[in-house]
Chains A and B, each alone.
Chain A
Amino acid sequence: MIARLVALCPAFFLPGQVLSNPEDPAQHIAIIQAVGPKGAGNPEAAAAFQALSGAKASSILPLLRAIEESNPIARNWLRSAVEVIVERELTDKKPLPFEELKKFLADRTQAPEARRLAFDLMLAIDRETSEKLIPGFIDDPSTELRRDAVALLMTSSRKAGEDATTYRKALDAARDVDQIQEIAKALTELKEKVDLSRHFGFLTNWQVIGPFHNNERKGFAEVFPPEKGVDLEASYEGKESEVTWQALSTDDPYGKVDFNKPYGKLKEVTGYAYHEFDAGEARPAELRLGCKNAWKIWLNGKLVFERDEYHRGQRIDQYIMPVELRKGSNTILLKLCQNEQKQDWTVQWEFQLRVCDATGTAILATNRPESETK
């Protein structure tokens, strides 16, 4: 509750105000939670941190609980306070609250990172007992905890002589790309079908239009007609000639949509891709993009993010953008700019986009074909 109040009223604690009762961590936690952008609140947080670092082990759980409602910087302050307290208690050979940590771990409404930290502390206290909990992480909202359970299943499958059923269970649970790829490879070798595109939730069917110009990289800032409103029946003056919308789908298992396929390996050009995503419910979601071209993305006509970096690398989930989906149709418009570089590693003019929740679990559109991947 205090955290909520402070989040709403960051000026509740005046600069320089330090509350000195180390037995009441809530006051110091609130000061830490008030840290803001560009270093705001750091001096006050440092004083609160000093007070907290002298607290007893009983403060560990309040600190962990506070992480859920804290911003990314405050989370690190709180984590560091936990580490200092734990370090001192271990040095002094004092007991740490194993059972309370276990209860905290079991509370899936708490911050995933905090629950992983709690589990790491449990491992330090009693590794054997703690490790017995790992199979239960298989559907955990913490991808870090889930990763351990998936790894156990992968090991079990290997020990069982490459058991496809166990691998399938592991794949269903896996959210980290490296684990998914390793399991998919094993299943494929066992002649099992794997629909990676569906597992990740990549969007594979698009309407695209282009090329517009990106001469001297100025196309990135220029507002071409699709940004003013998408009309799939319209045609426009493009870089060299009239351009119209056309369908472009991909059968790439990782959802890569390649603009070079319809347009050729062009340079200094801009293209747009458009997708209508039907959500079964209004909900928070994440757009996760991989792209090595300059890009902008709009959801329901609102710019979500833009980035003008060219050819420095691409990977799945390179950019993670929290958004709110509305129930029913959601429009996604992506602008993709190719620059003037001529090296062979600058040919790519492509992207891969998926919709998922904060754990990386695919959110499949209600209008998604049963199997978009050919």
Chain B
Amino acid sequence: MNRLLSISLLGATLLFFCGSTRAEWHRFRGPDGNGYISGSKELPPELGENTLAWKAPLPGRGLGSPIVIGDRVIVSAASGPHQDKLQILCFSNQDGSELWRRSFWATGRTMCHKKTCVAAPTPTTDGKHIYALWSSNDLISVDLEGNLRWMRGLTLDYPNASNSLGMSSSPLIAGNTLVAQIENDSESFAAGFDLDSGANKWKIARPKMANWTSPVTMKFGGQTIVALQSGKGVMGVAPSTGSELWNFSKGASTIPSGAAAGDTLIVPSRGLTAFRPNAKGGEPVSLWNQKTQKPATASPLVTGDRFYFVNSAGVLTAADRKTGDRLWRIRLKGPFSGSPVACQNGHLYLFNEEGLGQVVRLSGDEGEVVSEFELRETILATPSIAQDSLYIRSDQTLWKFAKKGN
């Protein structure tokens, strides 16, 4: 019995460490959608020529983050004078060589504001297949070799589902459902799609208002649920049915997304607000509200008992997750469109729109910028961290930073 228990514990321990060190970046803002990934303790706190592992040219524009699946790095893009050639690109994480690329003709509108682009949403994966969404509302799944599995032209199906400024919400996988927010001023909806066929599992009407936020997953009643944010607030839904579980109706931002920590959500709403939904549903009660904490475009980052956000002046604030109280703040070189990310090496990574990468040490009483590196290209994307490496993309280039030899 004791031997069995010991073996079980050993197995659990191994699984924990394997899970930690092999945690991968499968969607926008990491495995939990809050900018943080466990593991990657060996990611260097320096961005520079010494840690630049490789860079690869990209054939089209995009500001969705790279995602990492094993030894593969996946990026979406859109090219052509009208950005109507949609692309999924697969690179080797070892040397940046392009393993395959697939191109598709957009079936929806590709008009968008010049600051954003058609490949704004970050793709996602269940580790076996890739799911990519573009601003044209084309939703495509391919396998890890690039073989097409299914395609939806959501603007063909729902002709007024578009935003003339561009769409940017990134889909996610919760359970066996792909969840996407196709929210806009006209034909606004969220939907759950079957992972194998792309067919609707559910579709619900959403507020008729432009919305660039992404869904996040969080815990509710021991289950993983999806929180849908909009200007009206945040609604919790069951991922398999889309049924409403609770509704936070006090309004929320339509640009920066919320960040979950277990069963608590920190959401840009009247500054920043944290709430934990009641198990019985209904209106969640706020745990705290900090009216002066105003994230700009970048979404908040949650690490352990702290959270971080950047305001419109480029000031990075660290705050206590349980109270919302500010711990310290530090002025960075902005402005920022991409969101901050972090891992277990105790540093935060963020790139400004001019392509300046900045690394902030989070230990100590105050944050400290310990490294800066100029990529010399416009960066609007959020970086990704996996396997002790950091990936960032522009319209033209994909970079990997890691210790030499990793």
Contacts and interface: CB of A to CB of B under 8 A. Distances in A.
A103 interface: no
Contacts of A39: 150, 152, 193-194, 197-200
A117 to B, nearest CB: 9
A310 B81 contact: no
B163 interface: yes
A128 B50 CA distance: 40
Contacts of A305: 159
B397 interface: no
B147 A37 contact: no
A228 interface: no
B95 interface: no
Contact of B185 (A46, A84, A178, A309): A309
Given A46-B150, A313-B113, A307 B186 contact: yes
A73 B108 CA distance: 11
Contacts of A50: 147
A80 interface: yes
A84 B198 CA distance: 21
Nearest to A147: B81
Contacts, number: 101
B186 A42 contact: no
Interface string A96-137: 000000000000000001000000000000000000000000
B100 A312 contact: no
A56 interface: no
A308 B185 contact: yes
B148 interface: yes
Contacts of B135: none
B149 interface: yes
Contacts of A75: 105
Interface residues of A, number: 40
A83 B151 contact: no
Contacts of A40: 199
A307 B160 contact: yes
A79 B200 CA distance: 24
B210 A312 contact: yes
A364 to B, nearest CB: 24
Given A37-B156, A37-B157, A80-B102, A73 B185 contact: no
Contacts of B185: 308-310, 312
Contacts of B151: 35, 42, 73, 76-77
Given A307-B186, A313-B113, A72 B150 contact: no
B161 to A, nearest CB: 11
Contacts of A144: 80
Interface string B131-166: 000000000100000111111110011011001110
Nearest to A310: B185
Interface SS of B by simple majority: loop
A265 interface: no
B164 A42 contact: no
A294 to B, nearest CB: 9
Given A42-B151, A42-B199, A308-B186, A178 B81 contact: yes
Interface in A65-80: 72-73, 75-77, 79-80
Contacts of B103: 79, 83
B325 interface: no
A46 B104 contact: no
A177 B140 CA distance: 29
Contacts of B208: 308
A43 B148 contact: no
A142 interface: no
Nearest to B86: A76
* Residue among A79, A178, A313 having the largest count of chain B Cβ atoms under 10 Å: A313
B148 A314 contact: no
A79 B85 CA distance: 12
Contacts of B193: 39
B177 to A, nearest CB: 14
A79 B104 contact: yes
B112 to A, nearest CB: 8
A72 B148 contact: no
Nearest to A72: B107
Given A73-B107, A309-B184, A313-B111, A84 B165 contact: no
A43 B197 contact: yes
Given A42-B198, A308-B185, A79 B105 contact: yes
Contacts of A312: 163-165, 185, 210
Interface in B351-378: none
A288 interface: no
A50 B142 CA distance: 12
B30 to A, nearest CB: 29
Given A49-B147, A73-B107, A315-B111, A309 B164 contact: yes
* Residue among B104, B164, B199 having the largest count of chain A Cβ atoms under 10 Å: B164
A89 interface: no
A144 B109 CA distance: 17
Contacts of A352: none
Interface string B278-297: 00000000000000000000
Interface string B174-189: 0000000000111000
A314 B113 CA distance: 10
A335 interface: no
Contact of A72 (B147, B153, B160, B197): B153
A38 B148 contact: no
* Residue among A38, A40, A315 having the largest count of chain B Cβ atoms under 10 Å: A38
A84 B164 contact: no
A-B CB proximity, top 6 nearest: A42-B150, A312-B164, A313-B164, A39-B199, A72-B107, A309-B185
Given A72-B156, A73-B152, A308-B185, 6 more contacts: A39-B193, A72-B107, A76-B104, A84-B147, A309-B163, A312-B210
